[in-house]
Structures are given as C-alpha cells and as structure tokens.
Structure 1
C-alpha cells in the first residue's frame, strides 16, 4: 500500500493540510507517499487573484480550522490583486523538487506552500525552488534548472492527467492505493486521527 497525495501548491486548503500529512507520514514511515499536482489554476483560471474574491474569506476559514499561517509577506504579495497563481508553473517546480529527492516529496510540498503562503514567494520564480531545495540540503542550482527544463512541464501535465484518472475533484485529496484498490482517506480538511481510523479500516478490509 502507498499514499497518494493530490494537492495544488496554490491551494490554501492544501497548505492547511500539510501538518496533517506530515503527521501521517511520521506515524507510517513504511508507507511511501506519492505527491501529485492537481492543476487548480490553469487555462482560463490562470488570472489575477482579484478574480477570486473568496480567497481572503477562505483563508480565514482555513486558519480557523487548521491553524495554518498566512504571513504578512503573502498578504503584501496579493494586496493589489494583480498576482497570478499559475498552477502549471507550481507543478513544474513540484516535479523538479520531487525528482531531486523522491523520498522527501511530501515534506517539500509543504515547504513550497510555506514559501508562498508565509514568505510571499512566487511559485513561478526559479529562485523560490533554489531556496526551498537548498534549505532541504538539495542542489538548489540543479533544481532551479530542472524547473525551467521541458521535462518539468511534461511531468506537470502528467500529474494533471494522473489526478484526473484517480477521479480527484477537490484539493487536497489523500488516497490509499493498494494495487487496483483506491480508498479516499481525506478530501479538503481532516485530522490525523480521522485518517488513521480510515487507514486502519482499509488495512482490515
């Protein structure tokens, strides 16, 4: 069995879920975690953040339910409403980080969301990936170069197809996959103990 975590780096609910995923990974080191980018803001949804009037209200709700922090630098970044959340760029960066350290993919996904939601760093900027990689002890120059390479775009689009094939319609979604069996452990918000109970039921079944 493995866990498949389908998220979007520009999804506030995914940011709120990161500590839960980290706790599940800590409790179950025997379960590999596959991280898949879902592609929330692509195509016609790749527009200035002012077009999504619900963002601030949603962030307040996410903070209330999960304790997630939305930093002052992030608030400054989005203040004038012109910032564009480009999920394909974020998925390219996720793929570059994942390729550099597959075993750290879940941690790096969380680190990437911290970079955006706390530090206010754009996930379209290769310097963000250089920084996140370096903090994790990886080769930041190599990751930044991989982010800009054609292979990252191909990997991002493969991720979007994988999410669709898994039937994922909301982010984050955490799945338990065992051969052909796929069980939904969480969609949106869930605590580690809730997921633990669902994992146990899946193992027993």
Structure 2
C-alpha cells in the first residue's frame, strides 16, 4: 500500500493542506508517498493572476480554515496582478527536486509551496530552486541544472498525465492505493485524524 498526493504548487488549498500531509506521513513513516503535480495553471489558464479575481478572497478563507501563512513577500509579488502562475514550470521544479531526493518528495513539495506563498519567490525562476535546494540540504547545482533538462520537462508532463489517469481534477487530492484498489482519503481540506481514520478503514478492507 502507498499514498499518492496530487497537488499543484500554485494551489492555495494545497498549501493549506501541508500541515495535514506532514502529520499523516509522520504517523506512517514506513508508508511510501508519490507526489504528483496536477497542472492547475497550464494552457489557457496560464494568465496574469488578476484574471483570477477570487485569489485574495480564497487565500483569506484558506488562512482562516487551515492556519496557512501567506507572507508579506507573497503579497508584494502578486500585488499588481501581473504575476503569472505557470504550473508547467512549477512541475518541472518539483521534478528536479524530487529527482535529487525522491524519498523526500513530501518535504520538498511543502518547501516549494513555502517558497511561493511565504517567501514570495516565483516558481518559474531557476534561482528559486537553488534556494529551496540549499535550504533542504540538496545539491543546489544539480537541482538547478535538472530544472532546465528535457528529462525534467518529460517528468512534469508525465505527472500531469498520471493525475488525469487517476481521475484527479481537484487539488489537493490524497489517495491510498493497494494493488488495483484506490480510495480518496482527502480532497481539498481535511484534518490528520480524519485522514488517518480513512486510511485505517482502507487498510482493513479485504481485497476482492
């Protein structure tokens, strides 16, 4: 059995889910977790943030319901509405980090969202991944080089395809998978206790 966490680094609700994700994985240290980028802002949705008039209101709601931090630097980054959230670049960045330390994918996904939502760093800039790598003790040069490589772009595209194959169209979504069985443990907002209960129920259900 393993978990599959489908998120988008530019998704505020995914940012709000980070404490739950950390707690669940801490409670189950032996449980493998695949972290998959969902591709929220791609194609025609890759536009200036002012086109999404709901962002500020949604962030306030996320902060109230989850306690997530939205830093002053982030506020400055998006203040004039011209910033473009590019999930293609963010997925490449996660893939570059994940490639360097696959067993730390959850930690790196959380760090990536912190870089944007708290530190106000663009996830389209190679320098952001250098900073995240340095903060998490990874080889910053290797991560920065990987961000630009074709293999990393292919890995990002594979993530989007996998999310689609799983039928995930809302972020974040946390799945439990065991062989051919799969169940949704969380979609959007959920607490660690609720997720743990659903996971226990899934694990105790006999396979057909």
Same fold (TM over 0.5): yes
What is the count of residue pairs matched by the alignment?
205
**Paired position in structure 2 for 1:120:** 120
Report how far residue 109 of structure 1 moved: 0.2
Unmatched tracts of structure 1, length 5 or more: none
- Runs of 4 or more above 2 Å deviation: none
Distance 2:134 2:76 in 1: 25
SS at match of 1:34: strand
Pairwise CA RMSD of aligned residues? 0.4
**Paired position in structure 2 for 1:165:** 165
SS at match of 2:99: helix
Deviations 1:3-43 (A, max 9, x none): 00000000000000011100001000110110000000000
**Paired position in structure 2 for 1:186:** 186
Unmatched tracts of structure 2, length 5 or more: none
The 5-angstrom pairing of residues 20-169 of structure 1 reads 20-169=20-169
Distance 1:32 1:119 in 2: 29
Report how far residue 76 of structure 1 moved: 0.1
**Paired position in structure 2 for 1:204:** 204
Report how far residue 134 of structure 1 moved: 1.2
Report how far residue 63 of structure 1 moved: 0.3
Report how far residue 135 of structure 1 moved: 1.1
Distance 1:180 1:127 in 2: 40
